[in-house]
Chains A and B, each alone.
Chain A
Amino acid sequence: MTSDTTTPAVDLTGSRPRLRRERRVRRLFAGAAAVSIVVSLLIVGSLVGEAWTFLRGLDLSSLWTMGWFPRRGLFDVKTVLTGTLLIALVAMVVATPLGLGAAIYLSEYARPRARRWLKPILEVLAGIPSVVLGYFALTWISPNIVMRLSSHAGVFSMAAAGIAVGILVTPLVASVSEDAMRAVPAALREASYGLGAKKATTVTRIVFPAAASGIMASLILGVSRAIGETMVVAMAAGAVGGSLFQWNIFQPGQTMTAAMSALAIGSDQVAGSTSAFQSLFFLGLLLFLMTLGLNLLSDRFVRKVREKY
């Protein structure tokens, strides 16, 4: 009801062609995102479907027996789970000290010049094809380490495979945890030195705890990678076609991945024989769920680092 006169109106509606163009670009990217989601869902869907087919046509007691012998209809889950976890454990026993040690050295101790040539070496190590490491496990790790640790060990053993997988995983652990430690602000280190802390004290009491969630994430990713590793275990763990339940790491053992590759490439001569071949998808589903869980867990840890600074 005021008598104030308003200034002339301004046209704030955008130009139509531009709005239309923006909408089109938006749809293009949404389409690309949708395709990748759909493809992933289809893969998971077929995995679930095939696994279900396998389980339906099966006497469930054959999932808990003396060993993994798909040709004889023995699909003991605990054999492949134990093999997988034992090898992952050996791998992490190797990769944790090596990876974290390398990360601490690179992030806290190495002079810039040393870093400049050490970092690429680490990356080269990460790029070694796992076939090469599998071969290395048989020809070097087995005779020089495993057979010395246990006189009962043969050429093929879970220990040899585990150590090789550990070497494979080390660069991953090192690089992710190094990133986490370098992300710790320099101001925190200065605060620590300013209080008269030594370098070792600063690293262990300030940098390490501040980077803890990132370091945790690196270890979880390492486990996830170790569980998923196929070639090294298929070559060096020993049990290609089947295996009795085995918890002794100096004996051959069967992992989920090695069992799957044996089924897929037919090296156990059962390709095509219905239910045995289908067990591949059942293992694949299990493996997928395990690594998915681990990656989600590591994601949560990483997000915690981001919240902090």
Chain B
Amino acid sequence: MGEDQLTDSTTAAGPTIATGEARPAGRGVSVGSALRGTGRPAEPAQNTIFDVRGLRVFYGSFQAVADATMAIREHEITALIGPSGCGKTTVLRCFNRMNDLIDTARVEGTILYHGTDIYGEKVDPVEVRRRIGMVFQKPNPFPKSIYDNIAFGPRIAGYKGNMDDLVEESLTRAALWDEVSDKLKESAYALSGGQQQRLCIARAIATSPDVLLMDEPCSSLDPIATLRIEELMIELKRDYSIIIVTHNMQQAARVSDRTAFFTVDVKQTGMRTGRLVEFDATDAIFTNPREKQTEDYITGRFG
């Protein structure tokens, strides 16, 4: 793995799945069965896809995130939870260099992606984003047809295959094909909120990224649409690694394999800096957290 892996203009560098390591089909242990005190489930041997070391994020002189270190694994769903303003969105946007778009934002520390520092000098953020797709909190389809929404990413990446097939496949995987197959040329704005969000997921997976970042993808959706998207995430993790921000703890417990709990420290100066409190298997976080702060938050005694 050269330092310049991400500076290639080709999109050939896919996920590095080590041979001989069988991945478990789903989560090994359910939340309920993990109530066994200290008996932590044995962690399956999996590759680290993001190695985050000493991540700190600033907006101007305001420090939003202090010193987060965590290893995010391939083909898992990693949830970032914590109270509002603790920097979940900020951390998520570090993974595909989305914070580059904010003039005042500054990122320190390293994020190794398949061993390459995505903040390295020669790294082109465009190449990073082609491999690491993003779904935003509010559905944000383009004011174009459903078809063109899906085709946008592949087109700009120079996709040579059959676009109709790709559009159908992406919509099918996002569980939206049946609802829109007869109105692909209609505006994406004619869809409901839940459909728009699934369209955005379909749009993100159409470019076959390696990782999907999702920022509270269900926050503007009703319970049924939420459930569909959760099912979809579990379905998608066979092919993708997913990092999801959620303020819904049940959702984190339902879908994620590992959970990172952040909180806000209020300094005497009034500065509110987010801090990673605990990062562990979801079962452990929800049933047997190491930190008291985590337990208080999980059980609703927060503060």
* Cross-chain contact B143 with A308 (CB below 8 angstroms): yes
User: Does chain B have a CB within 8 A of A112?
Assistant: yes
User: Which residues of chain B are within 8 angstroms of A188 by Cβ–Cβ distance?
Assistant: 140, 142-143
Chain A nearest CB from B288 CB (Å) reads 36
With A112-B103, A308-B143 in contact, do A196 and B157 touch (Cβ < 8 Å)? Answer: yes
What 7 A-B pairs come out closest when comparing CB atoms? A196-B130, A194-B134, A187-B140, A195-B153, A196-B129, A191-B140, A197-B156
Alpha-carbon gap, A112 to B60, bound state (A): 14
Contact of A194 among B133, B144, B189 (CB under 8 A): B133
Stretch at the interface among B44-52, B170-178, B199-207: B199-207
Contact with A along B254-269 (1 / 0, CB 8 A): 0000000000000000
User: Which residues of chain B are within 8 angstroms of A191 by Cβ–Cβ distance?
Assistant: 136, 140-142, 200, 203
Alpha-carbon gap, A111 to B101, bound state (A): 11
Chain B nearest CB from A182 CB (Å) reads 15
User: Does chain B have a CB within 8 A of A193?
Assistant: yes
* Cross-chain contact B98 with A193 (CB below 8 angstroms): yes
User: Does chain A have a CB within 8 A of B241?
Assistant: no
User: Which residues of chain B are within 8 angstroms of A192 by Cβ–Cβ distance?
Assistant: 142, 152
Chain B nearest CB from A239 CB (Å) reads 47
> Which residues of B in the span 151-192 have a Cβ within 8 Å of any Cβ on A?
152-153, 156-157, 189
Q: Which residues of A contact B (CB under 8 A)?
A: 111-112, 185, 187-198, 201, 205-206, 209-210, 308
- In the complex, the chain B residue whose C-beta lies closest to that of A308 is B143
* Cross-chain contact B129 with A194 (CB below 8 angstroms): yes
Alpha-carbon gap, A189 to B101, bound state (A): 10
User: Does chain A have a CB within 8 A of B96?
Assistant: yes
* Cross-chain contact B140 with A190 (CB below 8 angstroms): yes
* Cross-chain contact B136 with A196 (CB below 8 angstroms): no
With A191-B200, A194-B204, A196-B127 in contact, do A210 and B156 touch (Cβ < 8 Å)? Answer: no
Alpha-carbon gap, A111 to B136, bound state (A): 25
Alpha-carbon gap, A82 to B124, bound state (A): 53
With A187-B136, A191-B136 in contact, do A196 and B101 touch (Cβ < 8 Å)? Answer: no
User: Which residues of chain A are within 8 angstroms of B203 by Cβ–Cβ distance?
Assistant: 191, 195
- In the complex, the chain A residue whose C-beta lies closest to that of B213 is A194
- In the complex, the chain B residue whose C-beta lies closest to that of A195 is B153
With A205-B152, A205-B156 in contact, do A195 and B140 touch (Cβ < 8 Å)? Answer: no
Alpha-carbon gap, A210 to B134, bound state (A): 21
User: Which residues of chain A are within 8 angstroms of B127 by Cβ–Cβ distance?
Assistant: 196
User: Does chain A have a CB within 8 A of B13?
Assistant: no
User: Which residues of chain A are within 8 angstroms of B200 by Cβ–Cβ distance?
Assistant: 191
* Cross-chain contact A194 with B136 (CB below 8 angstroms): yes
Contact of B156 among A111, A187, A201 (CB under 8 A): A201
Query: Interface centre among B127, B153, B157, by most A CB within 10 Å?
Result: B153
